[in-house]
Amino acid sequence: MEKAQVKVQILIPLYNAVELIDDTMQSIWNQNFDSNNIYIVAMDFGSTDGTYEKLLSYDSFHLGIYQCDKDITPYCMVSETAKIARFTFPGGEFCYYMVLMPGDVIYPNYLSKMAQIMYRYREYNVSVVMSEVDIKKENGSVIHRANLYETERVIDGKKEYMEYVLKGYQHNILCFGGMLAVGNNRTYSEMNERIWWNKSRIINFERNAIYIPERLGCIKERYYEDELQEILLRWESLILFRRSYEAKFGRKLEEGVLVTPESNLAYYAVWRSFLMAEKEKAEQSKSCFLIAGAIYPDIKSAQIYKWMEKLVLLHDDNCYDLIKNFFLRDNRA
């Protein structure tokens, strides 16, 4: 594969995003990358705020605009958009994929960097390239969470998967690579979350992932309509994964493979509890906090759990800054 042959489809599911879509589109068009090798698949899911009309106003090469009149939930938007994209570039050539949500932006060197990485590691059976990002909060501020690793590296799907799992439960990345969405009825923002259960499907214990510590984009902080339901769905996914493994291989998963995801999910629940507390959604915050202890009881001895107990159950906000700094560091020590 030569560098000039790298082609990219960018999937953008949209619903009532007229105020956000322009930043995303402009960031794609401002890439220092051959525009002939970029194709945007933008699918609108019944917007009522002028999003579809905004898309039609763009005079852009290689922009496919689609409407979906099905009653689609956020869990199916990415997968439904991916059905349009298929697995090839218009014309039939092989291409790579990424998912952006309205308001997400990629910095000008993103696609050229991805092309270089895919070419450099072409012998490694690479499934996905993961890069760090800046995170834009609802109030417009931009935060920088701790990196997953300090240097560029290959994550071996067989040998290093557990180390990858251990590295984090919390923040977002950008994913670039193979078709990540077909058959995965996942919530639209989950495609770029740095969470073990999604990436395990991508890495699949067999293929390699490439990690880049550079911040190559800025994506919006994600929130869910029902945070507790999201956690329960992920817990269910963990249980199904475990049962499927046992049915396929006739043996239980190694202890570390069992414990680490449950630990990660519990910390994830505590983190979401904190985000809900920040948004003054007390009931959702409490529900997320309590489920963490059920998923992984050992978390109750962790300092972050004790701080959150004071904040969520005792309404003592003296620990607020300590909790905030903890999650910015993405550090359990």
User: Which residues of the chain are in CATH 3.90.550.10 domains?
Assistant: 3-220
Please give the pLDDT value at position 253: 67
Return the SS3 of 27.
helix
Question: Considering the domain 3-220 in this protein, what is its CATH number?
Answer: 3.90.550.10
Mean pLDDT per block of 10 residues along the chain (333 residues) reads 70 93 96 93 93 93 88 74 71 83 95 92 84 89 84 76 58 72 42 45 60 92 87 82 78 63 85 94 97 95 96 93 84 42
Please give the pLDDT value at position 320: 93
To the nearest 10°, the Cα dihedral for 300, 166, 272, 142? 130
To the nearest 10°, the Cα dihedral for 316, 321, 324, 330? -120
Please give the pLDDT value at position 52: 95
The CA-atom distances, in angstroms, between 257 and each of 59, 137, 251, 269 are: 50, 33, 13, 19
Please give the pLDDT value at position 257: 54
Q: Which residue has the tokens 């903890």?
A: 326
Cross-strand pairs, 193: 172
Please give the pLDDT value at position 71: 74
- Contact status, residue 44 vs residue 14, Cβ threshold 8 Å: yes
The CA-atom distances, in angstroms, between 256 and each of 260, 315, 333 are: 6, 35, 19
Please give the pLDDT value at position 86: 65
